[in-house]
Structure 1
């Protein structure tokens, strides 16, 4: 191995240093050979199937062979709809509407020190086993969608009581969607006529019964289609930051068995208000916000179910689906350079 034998007081150190250097070079050579072998394999695989992306193969190679990165499985846990919502871009008309109220977009990315590390991806739904009847007419999917929109402000209103994760206190939370002031009638008219880009403030009350009130928010109706719409979170002078940053879609679609469902689903991150962050620990506050959020959408689905049943229909509330993972990992893997300008209604069960 060596061309000489060191002598003297530093001989042991010199031997150790040379052994470490040899091990380092040997390791580098092995990695080089492995990388070259990987390139050969990749070329062979891509030749057989041109749709396979070498970059994605490299990700899995680094994770499995070199132990680098975090493996993020797509499969059925993260559906394509969430990737589309991640890359959804609000149209210029929506941005222009925000200028009217001195508002601005509240993006899902940025301000990591204030937002949650985890991104929430959820899906709440109620299956319609029998269509309801309105004015002696059995509804189809389009009519039911319109009826739910017409009654959304009532159906979405709710409250929840639970023990806080931050301290020994009971939270009595409540929420209500209201047309953004002061032009209530104008916003409601835009909403009811499905013109798109209506703005709502979300009044939140209760909070800790011995301390503070709720964390208000606001949303922009950033997309409207024949059977779905999207709310996008915004900052406004009257609401401040929105407790969740991202996009939430509502609508009616058919499941894999052909049954219609009313649903809501979202990709968003928690963004507590400055005051709440100041008063309580961020991580336990995030847990409280998730409890309130889950209660909000469970309440909506429960109320829609009751609304359909009260009008001679029949429903089944379906199990909730929730996935919460590291946002930056998700963003780095699924962020597209080409933004999505229209989401539409993508079936939750579409392969």
Structure 2
């Protein structure tokens, strides 16, 4: 891509330099006209694009086998020497200690119970009867009249007004076959009930007894009791503690010394032939696994960039000069005016990238 951009830039620079003095880079060109030379006509260019094959370069990755040296852990066998202690048994006469028993006299103390006679004071309870003067009370009843308020229910006659009852066809007499008169198939009761009174019926007044709670004061007999003290003499028995001296058997724990024989254990030296084990140091050779870091050459695949040339077609600008018709000769001014300028003033026109000189 960089090579393609570089080729395009070089091509544009070559076209710009071939234009000679006819190309300006945004500046103004001064007129070379003298006092006796007329101004030349202005020249313009037309741009067209043509296809052109160019060589460009692109980056491609290429995979190759490369030999490299790497470090790897390798397990190998290795001989080494070590020391061990091995037991060795031999017969040897030695003196050893053994336990033996023997009789040994000794003295000891024991506690024995011994009964002896002793005089001691013993507490006894003795009953004693005495005459004690006591005070008793007699209750004397006294009846007095007192007023109390009591409540009681009484029946009070009250006159109330009731609605007149409807006339009934019942004659008031009942019997076993009293209801048969109401059946339609009998002709005995064909006559209807008495004609009821005209509306409205006259009210009926009745006197009924109504219970009411009434409170009243009444005199009642109230009995009170009066305490009258009375002194008298009574026999009272009490128990008193009396200390009496008595001779009793008393057991005491008394230490007594005694002699005895016992068996004791003692250590005795005895000569015996025993197996004695000693440890002997022996050198041995063994094999063990050892891991070592070893440099190993391996072939690995790696990618490398490379530039590959290829042909491509690009658009290239081509500039063709277009000559304007020559104007009438006129004396040039300093600086020259039209036809170099189209602004209507005496200053030269501003040049561009591909515009030529106004006058030569």
Given the two structures, how large is their TM-score scaled by the length of structure 1? 0.15
Structure showing the higher strand proportion among its residues: 2
Structure showing the higher helix proportion among its residues: 1
Q: Which has the higher contact order (CA 8 A, sep 6+)?
A: 2
Given the two structures, how large is their TM-score scaled by the length of structure 2? 0.15
